[in-house]
Structure 1
Amino acid sequence: MFSPTRRKVLKALLFGGTAIAAPSALYAAKYGRGEGMPWSPFRGQPPYHGTVEASFFTPAERTTVAAICARLIPSDDGPGATEADVVTFLDRQMAGFYGRGQHWYMQGPFLEGTATQGYQTEHPPAQLYRHALVALDVYCRNTYEAGFAELSEDRQDAVLKGLDEEEITFEKVPAKTFFDLILKNTIEGFFADPIYGGNRDMVAWHYIGFPGTRYDYRDFVGHDGARIQLEPVSLSGRPGWNSP
């Protein structure tokens, strides 16, 4: 998966209806803005109370997650996860009820699931991220004497490939499950509506020509397959619409 063709894969995912053009969990806008964020013990970990931009990740975690996202969706022939600010999307998701697994059944028994059963670990996403990021840092420092974000892109790709192919394992959490989850979340954050923190300035929508969440498309029904030139619109509208 770590090849120059991965951007084509992302396009295929989106147009094939597999990629998610809306986040897997809603984020309450007040979270991370100094109003507090409710959480339940053992449903993840306490959020990191930092800046408006940082709701859950510590600065070190945010740096690592941003570096992972940058390799999963690189800035090569178009905008990548960095330009789309995917790390902010992930940060907000982990700080919210998605990160806590609040709407999931999270009681035992916990058995090894099949490939078709989806997420099966006893750790809510936020807790999985936190444990996995610690384990990833330990692995990288023991192997390369540097944290993941400090490695060359080639070495970063090698580590991610090792997680994907289960050549690298963690003690407390399944490394492959973490890789699959952060890959899924990164794609979500890249294509999601900007109100959730990712897809900053609708860069992903501009890149693929997606017109966004418009009221309707009745004026363009009879276009006979011709390309429709429309500026993308977020759920919150376009910047010009909100100007005083």
Structure 2
Amino acid sequence: MAKKIIVSRRNFLKNTGIAAGAAALSTIALPSAEAAQHASHMNDSGVNLHRARMFFTNTFEFDILSNAAERIFPKDERGPGAIDLAVPYFIDNQLAGAWGYNAREYMAGPFAPGAPTQGPQTALIRRDLFQQGLLAINAAARKQYSKNFSNLKGPEQDEILKQCEAGKLPTEGFTSSYFFSELRNAVLAGAYADPAYNGNNNMDGWRLKEYPGAQMSYADIIESDKYEKMDPISLASMQ
């Protein structure tokens, strides 16, 4: 776990893929967790974005999500972290939609403890899993540090998240390790999804990877022998 949370951005970006973010989820997202709950504005790419919290009406829970996401994908000298990339809003909006209801997944049971190769065995839909998982993280922070998770220092937050990933946090109906896996995947999705879904603010997640985005054509450079660096293009800019 330590290597996953306290890893350098260079190695983190090297070991994570664009596809993990772009394909895993789809819906909507804001550059800062402290930003207004409702906003409509043009970003630096000329894309009109409409962002709002749709699931976490409770700011307390949204702040836990924002702080946890930032520790998983932190801001550093190479670029923005999860909060500046609007990842918390992206996840919030996903949970409000079909992904949050497990709409395309079999959820009829029976549910019983299974082998690791059998995947998650929980009756909870994803929106309830996230809500309860975030509260479990905060409960651990209260027990161990007598503070809410959002008020802990970075290394203290890392320690709680390590315990979460290791399956050591008390939970009901799911393991904390499963929740951490879902949370981490959602953070990556928000960082790398097309800004049309209101994550990856200003395409800065793509810029970290020098990913070109939705280019219309490569015909003019396809035969070039040199590396061609170009500004990314979002599907949202084509609307």
TM-score range for the pair, normalised by the shorter chain length: 0.7 to 0.9
Contact 1:131/1:172, CA 8 A, preserved across alignment = no
Contact 2:121/2:174, CA 8 A, preserved across alignment = no
1:229 lines up with 2:229 in the alignment: yes
Give the equivalent residue in structure 2 for 1:40: none
Contact 2:123/2:173, CA 8 A, preserved across alignment = no
- Equivalents in 2 of 1:25, 1:14: separation in Å? 14
- Equivalents in 1 of 2:127, 2:10: separation in Å? 27
Contact 2:28/2:89, CA 8 A, preserved across alignment = no
1:54 lines up with 2:53 in the alignment: yes
- In the superposition, the TM-score normalised over structure 1's length comes to 0.80
Mean CA deviation greater in 64-73 or 161-170: 161-170
Check 1:61–1:7 CA distance in 2 against 1; reply closer, same or farther (3 A cut).
farther
Give the equivalent residue in structure 1 for 2:44: none
Check 1:113–1:191 CA distance in 2 against 1; reply closer, same or farther (3 A cut).
farther
In the TM superposition, what is the alpha-carbon distance from 1:163 to its structure 2 partner? 1.0
In the TM superposition, what is the alpha-carbon distance from 1:4 to its structure 2 partner? 3.4
The equivalences for 1:186-225 within 5 A come to 186-224=187-225
Give the equivalent residue in structure 1 for 2:76: 76
Check 1:189–1:171 CA distance in 2 against 1; reply closer, same or farther (3 A cut).
same
Which residue identity does 2:5 align to in structure 1?
F
Deviations 1:80-104 (A, max 9, x none): 1122110011001000000001111
In the TM superposition, what is the alpha-carbon distance from 1:135 to its structure 2 partner? 2.1
In the TM superposition, what is the alpha-carbon distance from 1:217 to its structure 2 partner? 1.6
Give the equivalent residue in structure 1 for 2:116: 115
1:144 lines up with 2:145 in the alignment: yes
Which residue identity does 1:190 align to in structure 2?
A
In the TM superposition, what is the alpha-carbon distance from 1:55 to its structure 2 partner? 0.4
Structure 1 portions without partners, runs of 5+: 34-50
Check 1:193–1:116 CA distance in 2 against 1; reply closer, same or farther (3 A cut).
farther
Moved over 3 A (4+): 113-120
Contact 2:69/2:87, CA 8 A, preserved across alignment = yes
Give the equivalent residue in structure 1 for 2:63: 63
Which residue identity does 1:62 align to in structure 2?
F
Residue number among 11, 14, 39 corresponding to 2:14 in the alignment: 11
Give the equivalent residue in structure 2 for 1:41: none
- Equivalents in 1 of 2:111, 2:222: separation in Å? 49
- Equivalents in 2 of 1:106, 1:72: separation in Å? 29
- Equivalents in 2 of 1:197, 1:205: separation in Å? 13
- Equivalents in 2 of 1:223, 1:117: separation in Å? 47
Give the equivalent residue in structure 2 for 1:45: none
Deviations 1:22-57 (A, max 9, x none): 14243289xx98xxxxxxxxxxxxxxxxx9521001
Give the equivalent residue in structure 2 for 1:42: none
In the TM superposition, what is the alpha-carbon distance from 1:114 to its structure 2 partner? 3.6
The equivalences for 1:94-133 within 5 A come to 94-133=95-134
Check 1:187–1:28 CA distance in 2 against 1; reply closer, same or farther (3 A cut).
closer
Give secondary structure in 1 for the equivalent of 2:141: helix
In the TM superposition, what is the alpha-carbon distance from 1:134 to its structure 2 partner? 2.0
Check 1:212–1:138 CA distance in 2 against 1; reply closer, same or farther (3 A cut).
same
In the TM superposition, what is the alpha-carbon distance from 1:3 to its structure 2 partner? 2.1
- Equivalents in 1 of 2:20, 2:183: separation in Å? 14
Check 1:173–1:233 CA distance in 2 against 1; reply closer, same or farther (3 A cut).
same
- Equivalents in 2 of 1:28, 1:21: separation in Å? 13
Which residue identity does 1:235 align to in structure 2?
L
In the TM superposition, what is the alpha-carbon distance from 1:172 to its structure 2 partner? 4.2
What percent identity do the matched residue pairs reach?
31
